Amino acid sequence: MNILFDINHPVDVNFFKNSMDILHQNGHSIHIIFRGRGKLEKILRYELSQFSITMIGTHKKGFINKVTSQLQRDYKIIPFIKKNKIDLVVCFGATAAISTWYCRKPYLAFDDDFEYKIPFYHANWFSTKHIYPDTITFFNSKTVKYHGFKELAYLHPKYLSVSDEVLNAYSVKPNEYIFVREISNVSLNYKENNTILNQLIEVVQKKGLTLLISLENKDLHEFYTSKGCKVLEEPVEDIYSLMYFALYAISSGDTVARETALLGIPTIYTGGREMVVNKDLVKAGSMFELTDLKKIVEFIENITIEKKQEIQNNVLNLVENNWDDTTEVILNQINAFK
C-alpha cells in the first residue's frame, strides 16, 4: 500500500516511527506530510530521513487563523493524495480529515484527548476508524478502543532500552536528581512571584538532589541556572533514560508527565488539566496531580528510593502484562486495509 502519515507534532514522530519502520520492512510505501511548526521539520528529517517528507501548510495561532489555514492545507493535500496514489491516510487527530474524505480514501484517526472536544469530534466525523484508549467513554460505530496509552507506541520495552551512561554527560547518578519539565504551574511567573520557585528549588536541593530541567520557554534559562539547576539543551540525547533513572519527576506538560509515569517514575503533574487518559496512571500510583505548593513539598519530603522502586516495579509490570503495545494496535488497524 501507499500509506500517507500526516505529522503535526514532535510527539507524533515518536508515536508512528516504529510502525513506519515495520511497514516499510514489509514492503509498504511510506509518505509523510507535515505542517511547518518549530523544530518539527528538523526532527522529521533526522528521525525519518529514509522516507519521502513534504511540508504542506504552517502552524497558525488563533482560532480563526487555525481554521482558515487548515482549510487551505486540506485543499493542498488533495492533489498530493492523487499524485502519489495514496491508499490509506493515517494521523493523530483530524488534520487531513476533509481532504481524505474528499478523495474517498480510508482515514485512520488516532486520538487520546477527549477534553479538546472540537478536534475530537472533527476526527470522529470524517474518519473511517477513530482509535483511542478505552479510558475515553465515548463510543460509536467508528470507534476502536485499546487498553493503554499512546506513549506506549515508543516507551514499550519492546522498542525502548535504557542506559545510565547518558547520566555521565550531566554528572549525576541514578536517583540523585529529579527530571523537570518547565514547572510553569509551580513557579507561576517568576518575575512576579519567584518565592514559590525559590522555595521549591531549596527543598529539592536540601535533599541533596540535582534538578535537570527541560524548558519550553528558553528565556528562563539564565534564571534557573543561576539557582544551581541544570538546564537541558534540546535535542536531548537519550532523554527517556534521563527520565528513567530520576528519583521523581515534575511536569506541567501532560505528555511528558505520562511519559515519566509510564517509565515508573513518581510524577507530579502540575498542568491542572483533568484528563481521563491519566486516570490509570493515578490509580497505578505513578502520577500525582498536584498544584498546591504545600502538597508538592510534602511529596518531595517523603519520596524515597525504596518507594520509587516499588512504584516502578508495579508500573513496569502493568506495561508488560496489562496495557497494550500501542505499535501493535497501530499496525493491526493499518493491516486491516490490505
6 closest CA partner among 138, 99, 71:
99
Round to whole Å and give the CA distance between 34 and 60.
13
State residue 183's pLDDT score: 63
pLDDT, tens only, 46-80: 899 999 999 998 777 777 777 777 788 889 999 99
Please report the pLDDT score of residue 197 as a whole number.
56
Report the candidate in 49, 50, 48, 38 with the shortest Cα–Cα distance to residue 17: 48
C-alpha 40/C-alpha 285 separation (Å) is 33
Alpha-carbon span 90 to 337, nearest angstrom: 12
3-state secondary structure of 33: strand
Q: Are strands 177-181 and 267-269 parallel, antiparallel or unpaired?
A: unpaired
Series of mean pLDDT values for 10-residue runs along the chain (338 residues) = 93 95 96 88 91 87 75 90 96 90 95 89 93 96 96 96 94 96 52 52 91 84 88 86 96 92 95 89 95 89 95 96 97 92
Q: Which backbone phi and psi does 90 adopt, to 5 degrees?
A: -130, 135
Domains identified in the chain and CATH numbers: 2-148+324-335 (3.40.50.2000), 164-321 (3.40.50.2000)
Of 90, 86, 71, 122, whose CA–CA distance to 12 is shortest?
Answer: 90
Q: Which three cell numbers stand for residue 247?
A: 528519583
Q: Which of 309, 160, 327, 319 minimizes the C-alpha distance to 246?
A: 309
CA torsion sign, 271 to 274 to 275 to 280?
positive
Cα 137–chain centre separation: 21
User: What angle, 0 to 180 degrees and rounded to 10, lies between the N-to-C axes of helices 326-335 and 10-25?
Assistant: 60
- Give me the residues paired with residue 269 across strands: 251, 289
Rounded to two decimals, what is the model's pTM?
0.89
User: DSSP class of residue 253?
Assistant: S
In DSSP terms, 143 is beta-bridged to 130
Torsion 301-305-306-310 (CA) sign? positive
